[in-house]
Every structure is written in C-alpha cells, then in structure tokens.
Structure 1
C-alpha cells in the first residue's frame, strides 16, 4: 500500500520500544531461548506486547519512531551509531526505497518532537506520574542537538548505505 508517493505503508505496531519487548535478559546479556525446562516464566519467553496502537502507517515513520526510542533510552550520546545499528538489521529484512531513506532524518526528528510534546502533555495532566515524562528531557536535548545537522546526518547515512548495502543515496534523489 502506498499512502504518500514513494513511501510504502502497511500495518505497524505503532509503539514498538524496549518496554514492549519480552526477552530473556540476564547479567546484561540477551540469553538464548532454552527448551530444557518445562517450567517457563515470562523471562524465558520472547515476544512483543501492547498492540493498542496498531494502525496502517508508512513504514518509514515506524522506523523513525523505533530509532527515536533507541536514541532516547539506549544511547543519547551517540545517536548516529544507534540509527546505523538498527538500520543494519532492518535493511536485511526490508529494503527502504530512496525516497524513504531521504526522509529518514525528518521522520526521526518528527518522532522526537512527538515524544517530547506528548510527554509534556501527559505530565501536565499527571504531574505525580514519573512515567509520563520518561525520556522527555532526553528527547528535548536530542532535538536541540540535531536540528541543525541534517546535512551531516544524511552524509553519514549516505556513506553507510553505500559501503554496507551498495545503495547510492546521493545520486538517486
């Protein structure tokens, strides 16, 4: 399905982040699923939960939201590496077309703005709820740090795509 010219869409989770993934995490390591015991607990299972935000959307927006969440929660100091690491895995499963890649930075920045605005809105309605502002400060700092680096981000992304996936972003736009 195409919603906007040159962007593909389909059913997306809409809220895919580390709090909605169930994995076997022990000693700061992802553990393999073990079938040796018949007594499984939540920690033994792998899965995705919270499908309340599922919708039809452009895949690139979901990619932007996932990268945003990784940037905010996992590694706010080195966001480019976070984006490239996620994209390395994602591009092995689903290719993004040239237009989608060209709007990736905008998608990430839009997702950061959305994250900050919604967090602030929730906080004003629930000022005693710490979860409501989780990551808002980090999102704000990332917005401020990255709003003037579109060219640098896209240049680095272009080099990564050319070197690792033989995708020529510069000459195809």
Structure 2
C-alpha cells in the first residue's frame, strides 16, 4: 500500500495539526464569511475542533440563518485528510440520519458551495518544525447540550443511550457509501489486531499480557467469524464524548438529546456498535453496578435493533476489545502528544481495573446478568449462544 493510500497511522507519525484561535478566526472568515467573536477548543484525539460564536452578519449565500448557538470548526488530521471521499461519506451520512430525525449537527457550505475544503496548517509546534500538514476543514452547526461524560448514569439514561444508538443503526440500514467499505482507521474494532504494534507503549508487563490475551481471543472468536456477524454502516464511536444530554429542570436527571462526530464511521459488524457504547457505559457508571450498566445499555439498543446469537456470543470479547484499544492508543497518543495527555488517557484512570475485572468474569456469569436485565426489566428475549 502506498503512503497516500494508507489509512492507519504508523507509530511515531505526526498527523495532528497546530491550530490556535487566531488560525480559526482566519479560516472561518475566509472560507465561510463569518466573523468569530469567541471560540473554545474542544477535545479530540488526532483532529482539532473549535466551538465558535460568530456575529450575525454574513454574505455567504449558502447560510440562510446564522446559527445562534455557533458552529464547530473541524480540522481533520492529515492522514484522514488524504481521503476526501471518506469525508464526503461522513457528510452524506450526517445529512441522511438528520433527515430521519436523529439529532446531530449538520455541515455548512462554504462560500464556494462546498461542504469541505483542503487547507494547509502548521504541524504541532512542540512535535515538529517547519512542516505543513494538508487538512480537510469543515464547519458544522453547534448542537447545544452537554456531553455525557461526568453525568450520573441512571438506568433510564443508559437505556436511552442504547435506544438512540439502535435508532441510529436503523436509520442507516438503507445507507451505503463506497468509502465506508474501503476506509480503515485504527479506531475501527475490525482493526484491533493492528494495535499489536503499539503495545510497546504499555510499560507494565501484567497490563501488556492482559492486552495480549484480549487480542488473541478477539482474533480467534471474532476475526475468524466475521462472515457470521450482521453487518452494515455504523457510527462506530458512540462514546461519552459523542452523546449529548440535557438536564431535566425539575428532577436534575438527564435525557439523551443528540449524537456527535461521525469521524470513525465504517461498514462493519453491528455488534461493534453496541460493544463500544457498552464499554463506556461500564467505565463511567458510578450510580449502578458497572456490569448492570452494560446490560441496560444493551437492552435499550435491542429494543430498537435486533442482534442474533452469533453477534451476542462474542459481545464480551468485543467490549473488552474496545477497552484494550482505548488503553493502548491512549498510552501511545500521550507518549507522542503530551500536551493532549489528559484527554487521551481519560479511559486509563479506571480502565485497567475495569478491564481486568470484566475479562476475569466468566462469560456465563456475565451473560446471565445481561440476559436477566433484558428479560425481567425490558421484556427482551436474548440468545447469547450459551446455556444460561
């Protein structure tokens, strides 16, 4: 594969651009004819995202009404920016699900009528010198709310998260774009075996051995059985940074109101979709038992979108695979971009102990807990492929 065709980052490769507020103001003005009056950077692994508030005036004929909540300027990393067809697929996907009633920020056309453009940005100043990166730039309407991270994970909220994810997959059942079938990203669970080359960042032998066990099991039980799993176009990154919630004014509880960031979307196995959000539900649950948190999320999903025996049979491996992926890539990203370490290591704070506990739990006991929640509290019959 040539350098230009490659879609998976190599160890040590710098792909994240340097972007400050002055650069943001310049591009928002020249590309969209909007004047930034305030801006704040949002968290991201490899990209740069800024929430900007703009003045009400514009001569951009493609913007009928300036969004009062502002916009998000998204500067894609230089590796993914080589594949503009994949960015086009994301834009089409967003517009498709938005038309079907899924609340998500819509992309905005620039002054030339395009939904994206390719621009030059400096490399992160602390990582390299005198090197420009070519990056795709997009502007999306800002959807107000707060991210899921840090709010109490009640049973209702968890089932809502699963429900929205199932609705999303239903909305995408009739959507396909050729770029989704050929584009590979290190964050796609189908690429899990590729994290083998990043394990060197895990310095603790017990932890690296745990990751190796998860990898070996995934290869044996999941990778070797792809042809048995249900497939389609996925968001593939429904996590606590990409789910929007709002607080109920009377009781202080939270409801799910939207979903963000289709940057990891892919044509792949549906079990990966639910496994990813279950990983973050388990990790972030402080109100109810983490294992039960996974069960309520799964139940909400299955109320909207069905999975068969072969899919559910490998659910444990897939949930643990996402933990492994996040822990390894977080360690790698922190080593190569220390300035962003707090964000990229967010999973690690509880992730290692949670993964170890989940991995050591017998599959029969784990599936029995999830099956009981689905049957007794939601009336869902599940088939995990083992005798419970």
- When normalised by structure 2's length, the TM-score is 0.37
The runs of 5 or more residues in structure 1 that have no matched partner are 33-45
2:334 to 93, 118, 123: 123
Residue of structure 2 in register with 1:29 after alignment:
253
Distance, in Å, in 1 between the alignment partners of 2:359 and 2:232 is: 29
Distance, in Å, in 1 between the alignment partners of 2:320 and 2:287 is: 14
Q: Which region of structure 1 is more displaced relative to structure 2, 141-150 or 110-119? A: 141-150
Higher helix proportion (structure 1 or 2): 1
Q: CA offsets per residue over residues 60-95 of structure 1, 9 Å max, x none? A: 011111100111223497222111111121111011
In the alignment, is residue 151 of structure 1 matched against residue 364 of structure 2? yes
Residue of structure 1 in register with 2:151 after alignment:
none
1:134 to 328, 331, 346: 346
2:380 to 145, 150, 165: 165
Output the aligned Cα RMSD. 2.7
Residue of structure 2 in register with 1:38 after alignment:
none
Distance, in Å, in 1 between the alignment partners of 2:285 and 2:339 is: 25
Report the CA distance shift for 1:5/1:137 in structure 2 as closer, same or farther (over 3 A): same
Distance, in Å, in 2 between the alignment partners of 1:21 and 1:85 is: 16
Residue of structure 1 in register with 2:260 after alignment:
49
Residue of structure 1 in register with 2:72 after alignment:
none
* Alpha-carbon contact 1:76-1:138 (below 8 Å) kept: no
* Alpha-carbon contact 1:98-1:172 (below 8 Å) kept: no
Distance, in Å, in 2 between the alignment partners of 1:168 and 1:119 is: 34
* Alpha-carbon contact 2:312-2:385 (below 8 Å) kept: no
Q: CA offsets per residue over residues 82-124 of structure 1, 9 Å max, x none? A: 1111112111101110111111111111111111111111111
Distance, in Å, in 2 between the alignment partners of 1:7 and 1:170 is: 13
The runs of 5 or more residues in structure 2 that have no matched partner are 1-172, 174-224
* Alpha-carbon contact 1:20-1:49 (below 8 Å) kept: yes
In the alignment, is residue 80 of structure 1 matched against residue 291 of structure 2? yes
Residue of structure 1 in register with 2:279 after alignment:
68
Tell me which of the two structures has the higher relative contact order, counting C-alpha pairs closer than 8 angstroms and 6 or more residues apart: 1
Distance, in Å, in 2 between the alignment partners of 1:115 and 1:165 is: 30
Report the CA distance shift for 1:147/1:26 in structure 2 as closer, same or farther (over 3 A): same
* Alpha-carbon contact 2:374-2:382 (below 8 Å) kept: yes
* Alpha-carbon contact 1:75-1:82 (below 8 Å) kept: no
Residue of structure 2 in register with 1:12 after alignment:
234
Residue of structure 2 in register with 1:103 after alignment:
314
**Cα distance, 1:169 vs. partner?**
3.8
Higher strand proportion (structure 1 or 2): 2
